[in-house]
Structure 1
């Protein structure tokens, strides 16, 4: 089954489950193993069901403290594999601030708000939005940040982390990369994101706005978009 044949309901199911699995693996999440496996079994897309099942095999068989340490090392301590999508394209620049503002406005237009003041480009939040709102406007941020998703996927694959399976699952049901996308991803992988920092503070997302724009969310509070 390809991205073109995955039904909207199946894509929503995949985005919802991967959103949850990309949050900090606290005790509540890890104790929900049977429910997580049941949700994975309902996925119709064969490759995605296999990827998510393999990830669950690892995360549920590994001691919780090791999973939690691995999560922090993978996403919170490595800038190149952070979960904040706008960073991959814009770095810490005013263009990133505008991209964050546009995402936040898109969420508000659908009556959604961010829990706990989280940044709107956090991948679990973007996936939650896609699952909640559905095709069209709901999945638009995923398509717009396809290059960033691919850079994150490449970084996770290079690191050999089981979390790469979750990015494989997302990529499997998104439109394939265009040739222009591939060229842009290759260039960004070599050069990295822009480094100009002017403009973020004015939009409330800079280092002087009360927090680092790449600061990890609190370990015990999984981010989500809520009505």
Structure 2
């Protein structure tokens, strides 16, 4: 694998190389590893590139497009590398405003291609809040803190963790949400979005879908995820920065009181 070009902006270079500096954990005693160190590094770099390319194309990422294209071209030949090359060819040819509009349309305004994975498995139910907590606890147990910038099920976050933690436990959330990833890929393909290539590259790293997986994806397409009239408690609720699927009514935040009420005579619990 060729070294990364020295012209990479410092922030992007460090983010990409982190996956190479930190391969997966050593296998447990008595357990055979199925990947060579070189294969583990290639896999981690592919995951990290998928994470970067699925992030909002802000000014920094748009400016790094030549570097990202060169990095993809230097990947070890594989089906995943071919998919990323197809994507970066389009990505490099678009104007910044066009990239932003397309990203918002694909990932912010359409439920079927949202990047929040637990939505596909649990929908708007109480189980989704618990799934978010469990995922965040997995990150912390591995010594990784997402700094609260995104929900822990946001696909670029999950991909970054997979790149850093390795093929075993690091990629477990991706395997768990395989059906959601298939649905995102199908939605992007139906929309003829070039982002389908990034999802296709990711899917090459996962086991082939089973018949049960295909049936579950078909059911998701027909019926959508489970639904309850609840928020993401105990993780949070709509209207405070957390994810609400496009089309969901988000009530306005309550107005502050016009005067200070009298002090209560006893301590009471607020609404749950």
Using the size of structure 2 for normalisation, the TM-score is: 0.73
1:38 Cα offset (Å)? 2.4
Q: Structure 1 unaligned runs (5+)?
A: 217-227
Given that residues 54 and 156 in structure 2 are in contact (C-alpha distance below 8 angstroms), is that contact kept between their aligned partners in structure 1? yes
Using the size of structure 1 for normalisation, the TM-score is: 0.87
1:200 Cα offset (Å)? 2.5
Matched, 1:14 2:46: yes
Matched, 1:207 2:238: yes
Deviations 1:40-82 (A, max 9, x none): 1232242222211111111111111111111111111111111
1:152-171 aligned within 5 A = 152-171=184-203
Given that residues 94 and 197 in structure 1 are in contact (C-alpha distance below 8 angstroms), is that contact kept between their aligned partners in structure 2? no
1:199 Cα offset (Å)? 6.4
Given that residues 84 and 214 in structure 1 are in contact (C-alpha distance below 8 angstroms), is that contact kept between their aligned partners in structure 2? no
Whose helix fraction is larger, Structure 1's or Structure 2's? 1
1:185 Cα offset (Å)? 1.0
Out of 90, 104, 120, which is 2:122 matched to? Answer: 90
* Match in the other structure for 1:30: 62
Give the whole-Å Cα distance in 1 for the aligned partners of 2:71 and 2:136: 29
> Quick check: 35-44 or 64-73, which moved more?
35-44
Computed over aligned residues only, the root mean square deviation of the Cα atoms, in angstroms, reads 1.9
Q: Structure 2 unaligned runs (5+)?
A: 1-33, 247-272
Instruction: Name segments (4+ residues, structure 1) moved above 6 Å.
Output: none
Given that residues 10 and 45 in structure 1 are in contact (C-alpha distance below 8 angstroms), is that contact kept between their aligned partners in structure 2? no
State the structure with bigger RCO (CA 8 A, min sep 6), 1 or 2: 1
Give the whole-Å Cα distance in 2 for the aligned partners of 1:65 and 1:199: 33
* Bigger radius of gyration among the two: 2
